[in-house]
Structure 1
Amino acid sequence: MKIAVFDVSHWHFPLYLAALADPGIEIVGISDSANFAGTRFAEQLHCKLYGSNEALLEQDFDFALVFSRHSEMAALAERLILRGVPFLIEKPCGLDLQEVRRIRRLSEERRVYVSVPFIMRVSDLAERLSPAEGLTPEGFQHLSFRFIVGPVGRYEKGGCGWMLDKRQAGGGSTLNVGVHFIDLVAALTGSPITAVSAAMRAHRPDVTVEEQSVFTCTNAAGQIAVIETGYMYPSTAEDQRDFAFSISHTASYIRGYADQFYVKDRDRPQGRSTTVEYNTDAFYSAFLRRSWFDLAAGRAPVAGLREAEHAVAVVEAGYRSAAQRGAFEIVDHRQ
C-alpha cells in the first residue's frame, strides 16, 4: 500500500511510525507545512519530503494520513475525498462543527473511507468496560474522567505553537483531549450526548484557547458524565499526564489511576484490583492498522467522521455553555 503523510510536524505523527514500518507499506512522500520536523522524518522513513501539500497531492498513493493545522484540515480532507482516496485524519478534522459536518456529508456522498483516531475505542480500558466484562450500555449510571496533559509550552517546543491560537486550533484541551472521552462515553453507553454544562479557563494571558475545562454531560438515555481536561501537568517523557476515572454501573463500581483498575461488584463485599495499560500513545499504530484492516474488508471504520462530528458538536455546546456561565446547552445533532 502506498501511503502519503501530510504535515508530519504534528505531535502525534511519531506514534504511527510502528505501523508505517509494517511489511507491504511504502511511504511515497511526506509534507511539512510547519518546516519543523520534515527533514528528520524524510531521512528516517527514506522517502521524499515534498515542499507543499499541493505537491504531495499530485503524487500517486492509496491511502493518506492527515495531520494538518485544524484551520487547514477540512480543505485538505475535501481534496482527498473528491479524489476518492481513503485516509485517516487526526481529530478534530476541522476548525469547527460546520467544517466537520461538511466533509462528513461529502465523504458519505462519495463513499470514501475516512477514519478518525479516537484511540480509546481500541484501548485496553474500553475492553475492560465492555459488555463482554458484564458492563452493559444501559447499566452505566455515572462516568467521570480526568485527563490532564502537559502545559502549553510543549506545543511551542514541538513546532506546533498554532495550537495556542483559537483562530488556527479552534479550541484547547477540550477539542484536543476531551473529544476522546466524549466519544468514549457515547461508545460505552450507546447513546449520544445531548446537553452540556461547562466551565473553562486559560491561565497564560497570551493563550486564546482553554487550558482547563470541566464538562458535565447528559446523554439521550439520561446518563451523566463528567469530563475534565487541561494543559497543566508538569509532564516529562517518563510521566506525561494525570489520568484517572471513576464509573458507577449497576453491576459494579470501578476506579482507575496510574496503572490500577479497581472493581467492586455490587454483589460482593471484596473489591479486586488489576493493572491496565493507560498510556494512550500505545494505541495509535493499533488504530491505523485497524483502519487498514477495515478498509480492506469493506467495513466502516471503528470511528470516523460521524463520531468526530458528534464530538465536535458536544465541544461547541460546551463553549456556548461556558460563555453563559455554565448554563446547560443542547448539542446540535442536525444531520
Structure 2
Amino acid sequence: MHNIRGLLIFVCFLFGCKQKAVVHPTFYFWKTNYQNNAVESSYLERFKSKSLYLRIMDVDYNPDLQQATPVSPIKFSDPLPHGVEVIPVVFIVNQVFHKLDATQRAALAGRIATFVAAKVKQGGKQSFKELQIDCDWTKTTRDSYFDFLQQLKAHPLLHGKSLSVTLRLHQVKNISLSGIPPVEKAMLMCYNMGNLRKYGEQNSILDQHEMDLYLQDYLQNYPLKLDVALPIFDWAVVFRNREYAGISKRISKMQIEDKHLFRQRGNSILYDLLINYPAAGLKRGDVVRWEEISSADLQQSARFLSRNLKPEERTLAFYHLDANLLKHYTDEDYQKIIANF
C-alpha cells in the first residue's frame, strides 16, 4: 500500500496532477423585463443553480443633468424564481468615473445601494448576499472606480453582504496598470475579447489566441478569488464600405443562412447582403460577420482555464439566460463544458 501511494505521488509530480475545482453552474439574466420562461427555468433546475446573476440597470453619465443616471432598469412581469439566490449586477460605463469627484462618487454609491435593494424586493426577494459591479475600468479611471467601490462597501445597506466585480483579460495581464479592485472576488469575463469594430474574419466574442496571450502567464498568480463567465450568445456585426456599422438585432441564424438574402464568402464567417433589407436597416452590399461560439470552442476554453486557474470552488456563469440561445447547445455539450473545469 505504501508503495502504491508513493507511486501515485511520483506520477502526480511527473505529470502535474491537479486537484479538480468544485464548479457551480448558473447564468446571467441580461434582459430588461423578467418573465418566467419555462425553458429558462428548466435550465436553472437542471443545473441545480444556487444563484442567478440579475442585471438591475446600466449607469451612464447624463451631461444635461451633470450626473450619473440609471439606464433601462429591469422590470418584473413575474416574481424571481423561488429557491434561487439573486446576485444583482449593475453595469457602469467606464466614462462615468472620469466625470465624478469624491462627493459625487459617494452619492452614486448611495443611490445604487438604495436602488438595488428596492429592485430586489420588487422582484419578490427580501434581500441578497452579493452585489456585483460590472465596469471595464482603465488606468485613468482606476483610482476613481476603486474609491467608489470602497464607498459602496461601506454603505449600511451592504452591511454583511459581499461585493464582487467583473474582470477583463487586459486587467489580469496589466495588473500593474489596472490595479487590484478592493473586493472579495471577481468574475473573469471570457468573452468580447477581440476587436469588434475591425473589419475581417476574426471572432470578437471568443478568441483562444487572445486568452493565451492575456492569461497564460498571469492567471495563476491573480490575487483575488475568481469565478468565470463564458458566452453562449451570437450576433451579426455589420460593416458598410468596410467600416463598422453596428450590431444588427434583426439578423438571426435563420436569416444569415437564407441564400436569397446573403451569400457566404467561401467557408468564412463573412456574408454579403444581396438585396436592400430596410426592415433591418441594411443595404445591398453590406457585409455581416456572423459570430457564434461552438461547443468545441467552449470546451477548449474551459480546459485552458482549468489548467491556469487555482483549483478552488467557483461559479461558472453562462452569458446569458435566453431560450433562443440555450437551444444552440445540447445537455451533453453543457455537461462537457462544466466537466472540463
Shared fold (TM-score, shorter chain, > 0.5): no
* Higher CA-based Rg: 2
What's the TM-score once normalised by structure 1's chain length?
A: 0.30
Tell me which protein shows more helix as a share of its residues.
1
